[in-house]
Amino acid sequence: MQLIKYTPAWAADWNQFVAASKNGTFMIDRQYMDYHSDRFEDCSLLFVEKERVFAVFPANVVKDAGVVASHQGLTYGGLILGTEINAARVLDAFDKLKAYYRKEYRANTLLYKSIPYIYHRQACAEDEYALYRNGAKLVACGLSSCVNLKAPVPYERSRRNALKKAAKNGLAVTLSEDYDNYWTILQEVLGKRHGQIPVHTAAELQLLAHRFPENIKLFVVKGEDGHIIAGTYIYIYNNVVHTQYMTATDESRHTGALDLLVDFLITRYAPTHQYLDFGISTEDHGHRLNEGLIYQKEGFGGRGVCYNQYELTL
């Protein structure tokens, strides 16, 4: 097995492999990863044998800190594995990966963000076993809330009552391309309520939506005056629909708009997908649970899935 540092010349091979892998998603596609390539020094690897790719590792390096991370520009990463690779070869790949980063980058630490199981096309925990075998330490655990669309938990009464309000107010959910207007609302809400700004810019997310029109969509709820009062981007994966940047204006908070939006997504994607992932409700690497945030998600039947990050001394 040969390790090859990723360069743009390998983009087509990389993307083709990820699309057919056990645990890759469109976020690992280079057209997605490279939109912010100016912010990170890429040190991704391909594992190749007899001109065939068996695994890839999306990663960046922070040289001053001696750290290799998988990948700091992504929610998750880790080893992306082909269907033919077995557990023994994953252990071998891990050994080669460690040696490579020690030698080529003088790195002393590997930060590894594993992909939650709900995103796997096939069972794919060989990398977690390799982490255990190599003495990796769990250093962050983000708790997400996911609705099992094939076996949903009934809504809590508060959510059912909110849906009745939405019906009385005559609200409806629509697919939208009004990216700029929604982004303005999102920034105002995040700034006012949480003192935060979005991780992406409006231009970046619009670029990604144009590159992946089947995977990234914007749904909104409009008030009587036609203005957006609630909405969310969704990332559509093979088996999962993930909400991104879900928000609602102060005007909508007592109209049931956000509840209507969630119910719409659950109903729309239940026939085609297994999970609706609301994202994490934790802060400070998982040491603090935002109980108010997770309360609403759990009211729709969301139950826990962990987003884990490990630290491994090289």
**What architecture is domain 146-305?**
3-Layer(aba) Sandwich (3.40)
Give the ranges where 113-256 is alpha helix by DSSP (H).
126-133, 157-168, 179-194, 202-211
Q: Is the pLDDT of residue 194 over 90?
A: no
pLDDT at 197: 80
pLDDT at 148: 98
pLDDT tens, position by position, 56-66: 999 999 999 99
- Whole-angstrom CA distances from 267 to 60, 262, 263 are 39, 9, 6
Q: Is the pLDDT of residue 236 over 90?
A: yes
Q: What is the DSSP string of 98-152?
A: HHHHHHHH---EEEEEPPPGGG-SS---HHHHHHHHTT-EEEEEEEEEEEETTSP
Higher-confidence residue: 9 or 198?
9
pLDDT at 94: 96
Residue 39 per-residue DSSP state: G
Residue 180 per-residue DSSP state: H
Residue 155 per-residue DSSP state: P
Give me the chain's average pLDDT, please. 95
Whether 93 contacts 112, CB under 8 Å: no
The candidate with the shortest Cα–Cα distance to 45, out of 67, 77, 20, 75, is 77
Q: Is the pLDDT of residue 223 over 80?
A: yes
Whether 215 contacts 166, CB under 8 Å: no
Q: Is the pLDDT of residue 25 over 90?
A: yes
Q: Is the pLDDT of residue 245 over 90?
A: yes
User: Hey, how many other C-beta atoms are within 10 angstroms of the C-beta on 201?
Assistant: 13
Fold for 2-135, please state it.
Answer: Aminopeptidase (3.40.630)
Domains 2-135 and 146-305 agree in fold: yes
Question: H/E element holding 265?
Answer: helix 257-269
**Any bridge partners for residue 57, and if so which?**
45
Per-domain residue ranges for the chain? 2-135, 146-305
- What sign for the dihedral angle of Cα 89, 95, 97, 99? negative
pLDDT tens, position by position, 92-144: 999 999 999 999 999 999 999 999 999 999 999 999 999 999 999 999 999 99
The candidate with the shortest Cα–Cα distance to 22, out of 80, 92, 71, is 80
Confidence of residue 260 (pLDDT cuts 50, 70, 90): very high
Residue 198 phi, psi (nearest 5): -60, 150
The candidate with the shortest Cα–Cα distance to 189, out of 140, 254, 250, is 250
User: Residue range 265-292: average pLDDT?
Assistant: 97
Question: H/E element holding 217?
Answer: strand 216-222
pLDDT at 198: 82
pLDDT at 250: 87
Instruction: Identify the residue whose tokens are 């949903």.
Output: 152
**Residue 262, both tokens:** 């969630």
* Pairing verdict, β 109-113 and 67-70: parallel
Can you say whether residue 225 is alpha, beta or left, with left for phi > 0 and alpha for psi between -120 and 50 degrees?
Answer: alpha
